[in-house]
Structure 1
């Protein structure tokens, strides 16, 4: 989007050169004809983006991956302090502090969650059904996948511990999140 203002400046500069040489530069373009660049508003890290013209709606229903877990829930799952959430499209990542143990919690919603589940199935990872969580749920080492209120959600925990240590916390968190839907 930075190109639009640069293109306008180039056209106006060239028209000025034509006018100096006595040539008719033709019609002057207006900024209405060019796409307007959108500059994202500054917001604190971890705060989800929301258009000012959008009516307020449930963040999870709107696909906001950082609204799926609270900072406290992510830190409890990781058993470690984490940096604030970083959203990117349909994903949200809580990374471990540079001064702390290595840990990361990733959240995927919508198509991203479903694609992650399909990829895990496609490469032959063992997925165990997880009864009583949403409409459908599966657990594998370090990740849980579930569908609640028609939306797929996945939570992935990256820690240097045996998978048996993360199974119960992932199950518990999936139940908590699915119950909120």
Structure 2
């Protein structure tokens, strides 16, 4: 007799797989409980920095068009701790930035919850991989230049800058859909 996995186990296995894929693709983040990921070469700054970080030309001190295009936005500036807590419906620890990712985790004594914000080309790569895996997406019209949502994930592109927001909760993803879409609109306005 073949034992069918329970819906909770299936969701947990899927979340684990997505987390591992995100780390493998992005090369940044601590969302799976590991330590800091290897350096991806992206510029970074301290949490709470002014937000836009760019690489300058050494000879002139001016930001070149190619450096401006490669600029990275501080992910902890895109989603605040109160916004992450509202999305998760529970208190979360202060955001921890590692490279282009900001992660808000629940305290060990609280319910399991995590909000992860990823900025840059890796966010688009995660979307592409999830498409290849056959995940179901729906478009979010009027959000940035383009935006898509799937269970507990949203992806926003504005002016070539990609952002993904991932929510880890042990509930029915349909319960989180509207809050994720609302936060995607807020983040698109900040880009």
Q: Over aligned residue pairs, what C-alpha RMSD do you find?
A: 2.1
1:171 aligns with 2:187: no
- The structural deviation recorded for 1:59 is 5.8
1:150 aligns with 2:160: yes
8 Å contact 2:104–2:115 — kept in the other structure? yes
Counterpart residue number, 1:106: 116
Of 123, 126, 135, the residue aligned with 2:136 is 126
- The structural deviation recorded for 1:140 is 0.1
- The structural deviation recorded for 1:98 is 0.9
Instruction: Please state whether the residue corresponding to 1:138 is helix, strand or coil.
Output: strand
- The structural deviation recorded for 1:57 is 5.9
Counterpart residue number, 1:91: 101
Instruction: Please state whether the residue corresponding to 1:105 is helix, strand or coil.
Output: strand
* Aligned structure 1 segments of 4 or more residues deviating by more than 3 angstroms: 56-62
Q: Alpha carbons of 1:80 and 1:49: their partners in 2 closer, same or farther (altered >3 Å)?
A: closer
Instruction: Please state whether the residue corresponding to 1:170 is helix, strand or coil.
Output: helix
8 Å contact 2:78–2:190 — kept in the other structure? no
| Bigger CA radius of gyration | 1
In structure 1, the gaps of 5 or more residues are 1-45, 51-55
What is the TM-score with the length of structure 2 in the denominator?
0.64
8 Å contact 1:130–1:137 — kept in the other structure? yes
In structure 2, the gaps of 5 or more residues are 1-44, 55-70
Q: Alpha carbons of 1:83 and 1:149: their partners in 2 closer, same or farther (altered >3 Å)?
A: same
Query: Number of matched residues?
Result: 131
8 Å contact 2:48–2:76 — kept in the other structure? no
Instruction: Please state whether the residue corresponding to 1:97 is helix, strand or coil.
Output: coil
Counterpart residue number, 1:48: 47
What is the TM-score with the length of structure 1 in the denominator?
0.67
Counterpart residue number, 1:58: 52
Q: Which has the higher contact order (CA 8 A, sep 6+)?
A: 2
- The structural deviation recorded for 1:68 is 1.1
